[in-house]
């Protein structure tokens, strides 16, 4: 099976979250350790270099320690970015055999226009296993079409067409929601994505009456 | 009334008229806490709505208004002003100054801020306030939100940007020109460094917001088509807004970083780790902050290479932050840590900020941002940085300096109680929002399975709110019953602790100096010599009130505006004519502006912010023109001869200003008056010619809303014309004074400062003429 948008996101997400949690835990544990260890106790004397009233600021030397830490975090971050660019290449390269559907967002709903000219409001039907490429625009304000379960999101901007794609290997129904505040109906701007068995899809698609 | 003496602190007169930085600081503090309650109550309202997946506590329009105003109020009217409350009070003390460089302008900043906030509050009681999200995305907020309250709220924001510009200039000049001898820039306390970098970012970020608001207001009120046309529209706004918006994030954060630095040193009893690297890293962040705005637009279909570039800058900016935060943590090694309330808040805030920073790297990754954009993950991330890092960090600052401001200690017990409630409430409120990353932002309804997370968040929200009630009680109670604090209750080393708590009006008895590497005081205070300095002025309040009335009239009744403009004229004259004494210390550390006097520095600072304003307006023109398939050829829409004539007139007027200054320098009264009059005449001629040009266009049916070429022309030349008009008003005033013998022999600096402004306005025209008429 070819990677889907879900696969691409999930693998990247798990790397980021693992490293993120790791770094967070290490740094915070170290901080808590220092605080507990160095808490002021009556028997503990003041450090020798405590800044005295009226002194100009001094600093603790430590360029080396800091450099090592920053190089370490830089290497983590650069790794993450390289992985991001690889994932991005895959996301930006929609499969060639895709079913192409035009999406027009409006206050407050979605219109889907199929290659044969058939228009449907609120409901997008696609066949299982075939890539689907969405050409997304808006007829009024800035929206964002999101099918979060498929990890797919595209800005819908008036006067502009943006492209997104996905491929689903299981039949089912998914929520389509708007992810950019677009007015009073933003919260209820919900559509349905219906992934059908290819055979059923074909018979449905060929039965459409296009005016 | 003696304007050199402050009335007692229980008199209302004191608070309306004061220009003393410490009083203004207190005013900022109280006002920002008031707006914290406004923003907080709104948040509790929509947290209640979100306590269940399908509740109907707020209708969708009410929900959108609550979310929008919560965001705007918290970012612009709470966190930054709270930082400036501390900055007003503490920065002059930390640098050894008697006051800010321009005390009256400081009071003016405060009152503009208050009245700007009042406009936003008033807009609630009109037909719908801003309901379009704090980011004011287009074209939703231009063509699709036709409510009068949106206009009022927008005008409130405009007034706020005026306040910010004025205070920015003031702090830049103060920190560069009023430092005690020996206090080099790198030797400044961290809080002052944080504020200096903050105001430098503000100086170049806020004019972009102002330009955006001007374009938006013009679309809404005059009918121009910047954002309603697809060539400009959503993307143009994104660029303008986020050019402001991303630096704004650091503008909000940097004062808190400064608090971290000072508090850590005091309570860990050790010097800061790698202090100079921290400062360098902060400078890098402040610079880079203007180059990362595109990461807010990854999904808008920008060119892949541009997107990659913004990814790299975004990720790059995380590295200096690593250096800063790690240095703070390394400071704790071999320390003797006193866990008093301010220190607890700083440590808690750093821990929270670390989570905010790590999740920021997630969002910097485009591939993840594709999915996380517009979800609760983003909401959680920026609350961890801006509410947890910035706001909680500033609360540490409030506790840290409370003894200095009031002369009394707060209750440590209540402080700790608040800390515990803050940490529990904050994390209960925002951590579940990371886990709600599949849920869109700003929706009043959601799917059933997210209910437990959202309910935990709501409970956390109320605990977080309670923690502030504890703080308010602590601050009020201790004002009366707290133990006397003495000069330096924390044993800190910075200068603000070397004077009484609270400090006397002139701050220090004697002039502080670090000339020989340690603090000493030169006995004779500068204030003791010559004419006493002024501490009271009615005009900052009057000017702000007048602006408020004038703007309020625009969305209520035009007669109110007329009255406001009248009051404004009266107040401007009053302000200009008032004799207000505020002297610079004879002795001070002023690098790199030893030879630039403070007025000159102020003008240059102001003009550099104007460069950004016009830069954005001209960029918007270039942007829409590039995006348009066709554009009228030179000479078809606009008559080149009008433009050429105006270019000639304006350039000549620059020459006459120079000649007026030269005459004034040599004491030639006739020349001064004559050349000022000539400038006034030429400027008027320019506007007359402009008027003819506009009338011709109107008579051919070409108006603001005709097309993008028309819209951009009218708006750009209109804003420029408004600058010319403002210059002419100033000229009329100068001429009137020159006729009565001013600027001869002495006082010619005033003409010089006016000259800078006038030349700048001319130079802008030199860009406008070819861009609009010739190409």
Strands in B176-299 per DSSP E:
272-273
Interface touch A73/B322, C-beta < 8 Å: yes
Percent of chain B with pLDDT over 70: 99
For residue B649, tell me if it sits in a domain.
yes
A182 touches chain B (CB under 8 A): yes
Nearest to B355 among A24, A56, A61 (CB): A24
Q: Does B299 touch chain A (CB under 8 A)?
A: yes
Beta strands in B458-588 (DSSP E): 511-513, 520-522
- B508 and B647 co-located in one domain: no
Backbone phi, psi, residue B761, to 5°: -60, -35
Residue B528 forms part of a structural domain: no
Interchain CB contact of A22 with B (< 8 Å): no
CATH code of A99-206, in short, is: 2.60.40.420
Q: Helix (H, G, I), strand (E, B), or coil: what is residue B179?
A: strand
By Cβ distance, the residue of A16, A140, A184 closest to B368 is: A16
Range of the structural domain that residue B26 is part of: 12-522
pLDDT class for B301, splitting at 50, 70, 90? confident
Considering chain A, tell me which residue range(s) the CATH 2.60.40.420 domain(s) occupy: 99-206
Q: Could you tell me if B636 and B518 lie in one domain?
A: no
Name the residue with tokens 């016009």: B614
Who wins on pLDDT, B562 or B309? B562
Estimate the share of chain A in helix, then strand, then coil, as percent rounded to the nearest 5: 35, 30, 35
pLDDT at B233: 87
Helix (H, G, I), strand (E, B) or coil at B182: coil
The 3-state DSSP composition of chain B as helix, strand, coil percent (nearest 5) reads 70, 0, 25
Pick from B557, B582, B714, B424: nearest CA to B19: B582
Residue in A65, A155, A181 nearest the CB of B301? A155
Does B537 map to a domain? no
Reference B98, options B505, B537, B580; nearest CA is B505
- Percent of chain B beyond pLDDT 90? 90
Domain CATH number, residue B51: 1.20.210.10
Residue A93: which pLDDT band, with cuts at 50, 70 and 90? Answer: confident
pLDDT score recorded for residue B304: 86
- In Å, how far is B123's CA from the nearest CA of chain A? 18
pLDDT band at B470 (very low <50, low <70, confident <90, very high): very high
Query: Residues in chain B, how many?
Result: 775
Give the residue from A17, A37, A56, A58 with the most B CB atoms within 10 Å of its CB, the best one to mutate.
A56
Query: Closest to A56 (Cβ–Cβ): which among B308, B350, B517?
Result: B517
**B308/A35 Cβ within 8 A:** no
Q: What is the pLDDT of residues B213-246, one digit of tens each?
A: 999 999 999 999 999 999 988 999 999 999 999 9
Q: Is the pLDDT of residue B525 over 80?
A: no
Q: Is the peptide bond before A108 cis (omega within 30 degrees of 0)?
A: yes
**In this model, does residue B61 exceed pLDDT 90?**
yes
Q: Are residues B277 and B416 in the same domain?
A: yes
- Taking the C-alpha atoms of residue A87 and residue A91, their distance in angstroms, rounded to an integer, is 6
CB-CB under 8 Å, B304 with A31? no
Average pLDDT, chain B: 95
CATH number, residue B717: 1.20.120.80
Work out the pLDDT band at B745, boundaries 50, 70, 90.
Answer: confident
Q: What is the DSSP letter of B509?
A: S
- The reply to whether omega before B592 is within 30° of 0 (cis) is yes
- Compute the distance between CA of residue B714 and CA of residue B176 in angstroms, rounded to an integer: 39
Contacts of A158 in chain B (CB under 8 A): 139, 230, 233-234
Q: What is the pLDDT of residues B122-174, one digit of tens each?
A: 998 998 899 999 999 999 999 999 999 999 999 999 999 999 999 999 999 99
Name the residue in chain A with its Cα closest to that of B515. A56
User: Is 60 exceeded by the pLDDT of residue B528?
Assistant: no
Residue A4 has pLDDT above 90, yes or no: no
Chain B touched by A144 (CB under 8 Å): yes
Burial code (b: 16+ CB inside 10 Å, e: under 16) for B449-469 equals ebeebbbbbbebbebbbebbe
For chains A and B, count residue pairs whose Cβ atoms are closer than 8 Å.
275
Instruction: Please list every residue in chain A whose beta carbon sits closer than 8 Å to the beta carbon of residue B419.
Output: none
Q: Where does a domain end: B497, B522, B547? A: B522
pLDDT, tens only, B241-253? 999 999 999 999 9
Task: Report the pLDDT averaged over residues A156-179.
Answer: 95
Structure-token match 């209540």, residue found? B414
What number is the average pLDDT over the span A132-153? Answer: 96
- Residue B524 has phi, psi (to 5 degrees) of -75, 115
Q: B365 and B240 in one domain?
A: yes
Whether B486 and chain A come into contact, CB under 8 Å, resolves to no
Could you give the ipTM of this predicted complex?
0.96
Mean of pLDDT values over B710-738? 96
Among candidate residues B462, B492, B522, the one where a domain is terminated: B522
Q: How many domains does chain B have?
A: 2
Tens digit of each residue's pLDDT (9 = 90 or more) over B313-345: 888 899 999 999 999 999 999 999 999 999 999
Query: What's chain A's average pLDDT?
Result: 94
Residue A5's pLDDT is: 86
Measure A117 CA to nearest chain B CA, in Å. Answer: 25
pLDDT band at B532 (very low <50, low <70, confident <90, very high): confident
* Domain limit, last residue, from B522, B539, B569: B522
Most A-contacting residue of B367, B388, B497 (CB-CB within 10 A), to test interface: B367
Spatial separation of the C-alpha atoms in residues B247 and B73, rounded to whole Å: 17
Cβ–Cβ gap B273/A28 under 8 Å = no
Cβ pair A30:B329 closer than 8 A: yes
Among A51, A69, A188, the residue with its CB nearest the CB of B271 is A51
Is the confidence at residue B623, as pLDDT, over 90?
Answer: yes
Contacts of B347 in chain A (CB under 8 A): 31, 35
Closest-CA distance, B452 to chain A, in angstroms, reads 19
């Amino acid at each position: 099976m070819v990677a889907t948008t879900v696969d691409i996101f999930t693998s990247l997400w798990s790397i980021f979250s693992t490293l993120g949690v790791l770094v967070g835990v290490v740094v915070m544990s170290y901080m808590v350790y220092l605080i507990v260890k160095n808490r002021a106790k009556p028997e503990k004397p003041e450090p020798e270099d405590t800044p005295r009233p009226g002194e100009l600021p001094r600093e603790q030397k430590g360029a080396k320690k800091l450099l090592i830490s920053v190089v370490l975090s830089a290497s983590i971050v650069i790794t993450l970015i390289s992985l991001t660019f690889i994932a991005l290449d895959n996301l930006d390269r929609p499969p060639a055999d895709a079913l192409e559907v035009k999406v027009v967002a409006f206050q407050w709903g979605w219109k889907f226009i199929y290659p044969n000219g058939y228009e449907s409001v609120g409901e997008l039907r696609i066949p299982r296993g075939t890539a689907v490429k969405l050409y997304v625009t808006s007829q009024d304000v800035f929206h964002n079409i999101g099918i979060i379960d498929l990890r797919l999101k595209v800005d819908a901007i008036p006067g502009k067409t943006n492209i997104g794609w996905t491929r689903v290997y299981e039949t089912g129904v998914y929520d389509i929601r708007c992810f950019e505040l677009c007015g009073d109906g933003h919260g209820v701007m919900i559509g349905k994505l219906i992934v059908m068995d290819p055979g059923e899809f074909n018979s449905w698609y060929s039965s459409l009456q296009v005016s | 009334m003696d304007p050199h003496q402050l009335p007692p602190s229980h008199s209302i007169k004191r608070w309306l008229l004061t220009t003393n930085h410490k009083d203004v600081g207190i005013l900022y503090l109280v006002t920002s806490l008031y707006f914290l309650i406004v923003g907080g109550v709104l948040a509790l309202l929509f947290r209640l709505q979100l306590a269940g997946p399908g509740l109907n506590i707020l209708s969708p329009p009410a929900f959108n208004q609550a979310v929008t105003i919560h965001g705007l109020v918290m970012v612009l009217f709470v966190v930054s002003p709270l930082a400036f409350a501390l900055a007003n009070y503490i920065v002059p003390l930390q640098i050894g100054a008697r006051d800010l460089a321009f005390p009256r302008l400081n009071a003016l900043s405060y009152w503009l801020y208050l009245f700007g906030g009042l406009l936003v509050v008033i807009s609630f009681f009109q037909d719908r306030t801003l309901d379009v999200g704090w980011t004011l995305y287009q074209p939703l907020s231009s063509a699709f939100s036709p409510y009068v309250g949106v206009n009022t709220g927008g005008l409130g924001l405009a007034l706020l940007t005026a306040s910010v510009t004025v205070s920015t200039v003031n702090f830049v000049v103060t920190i560069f020109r009023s430092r005690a001898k020996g206090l080099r820039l790198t030797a400044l306390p961290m809080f002052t460094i944080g504020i200096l970098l903050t105001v430098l970012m503000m100086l170049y970020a806020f004019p972009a917001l102002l330009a955006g608001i001007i374009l938006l207001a013009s679309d809404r009120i005059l009918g121009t088509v910047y954002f309603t046309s697809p060539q400009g529209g959503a993307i143009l706004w994104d660029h303008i807004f986020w050019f402001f918006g991303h630096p704004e994030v650091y503008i909000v954060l940097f004062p808190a970083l400064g608090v971290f630095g000072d508090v850590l040193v005091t309570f860990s009893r050790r010097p800061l780790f790698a202090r100079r690297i921290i400062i360098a890293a902060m400078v890098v962040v402040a610079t880079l902050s203007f180059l990362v705005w595109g990461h807010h637009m990854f999904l808008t279909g920008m060119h892949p290479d541009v997107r990659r570039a913004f990814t790299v800058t975004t990720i790059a900016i995380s590295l200096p932050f690593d250096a800063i935060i790690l240095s703070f943590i390394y400071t704790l090694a071999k320390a003797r840590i006193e866990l008093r309330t301010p220190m607890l808040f700083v440590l808690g805030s750093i821990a929270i900020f670390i989570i905010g920073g790590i999740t920021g790297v997630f969002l910097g990754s485009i591939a993840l941002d594709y999915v996380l954009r517009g979800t609760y993950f983003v909401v959680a991330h920026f609350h961890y940085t801006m509410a947890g890092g910035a706001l909680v960090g500033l609360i540490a600052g409030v506790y840290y300096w409370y003894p200095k401001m009031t002369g009394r200690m707060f209750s440590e017990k209540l402080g700790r109680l608040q800390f515990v409630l803050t940490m529990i409430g904050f994390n209960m409120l925002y951590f579940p929002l990371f886990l709600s990353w599949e849920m869109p932002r700003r929706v009043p309804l959601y799917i059933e399975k997210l209910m437990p997370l959202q309910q935990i968040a709501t409970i956390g929200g109320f605990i977080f709110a309670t923690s502030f009630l504890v703080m308010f009680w602590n601050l009020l109670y201790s004002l009366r019953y707290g133990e006397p604090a003495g000069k330096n209750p924390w044993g800190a080393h910075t200068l603000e602790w070397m004077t009484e708590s609270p400090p006397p009006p002139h701050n220090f008895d004697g002039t502080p100096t670090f000339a020989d590497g340690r603090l000493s005081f030169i006995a004779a205070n500068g204030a003791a010599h010559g004419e006493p300095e002024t501490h009271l002025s009615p005009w900052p309040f009057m000017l702000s009130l007048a602006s408020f009335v004038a703007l309020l009239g625009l969305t209520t009744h035009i007669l109110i505006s007329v009255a406001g403009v009248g009051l404004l004229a009266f107040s401007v004259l009053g302000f200009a004519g008032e004799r207000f004494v505020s002297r610079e210390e004879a002795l001070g550390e002023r690098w790199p502006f030893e030879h630039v006097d403070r007025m000159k520095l102020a003008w240059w600072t102001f003009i550099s912010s104007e460069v950004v304003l016009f830069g954005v307006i001209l960029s918007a023109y270039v942007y829409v023109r590039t995006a348009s398939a066709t554009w009228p050829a030179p000479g078809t829409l606009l008559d080149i001869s009008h433009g050429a004539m105006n270019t000639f007139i304006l350039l000549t007027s620059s020459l006459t200003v120079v000649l007026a200054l030269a005459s004034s320098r040599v004491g030639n009264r006739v020349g001064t008056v004559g050349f000022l009059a000539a400038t006034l005449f030429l400027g008027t001629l320019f506007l007359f010619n402009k008027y003819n040009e506009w009338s011709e266009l109107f008579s051919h049916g070409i108006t603001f809303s005709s097309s993008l070429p028309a819209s951009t022309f009218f708006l750009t030349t209109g804003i420029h014309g408004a600058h010319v008009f403002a210059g002419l008003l100033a000229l009329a005033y100068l001429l009137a004074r020159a006729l009565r013998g001013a600027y001869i022999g002495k006082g010619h600096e005033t003409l010089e400062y006016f000259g800078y402004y006038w030349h700048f306005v001319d130079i802008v025209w030199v860009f406008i003429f070819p861009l609009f008429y010739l190409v």
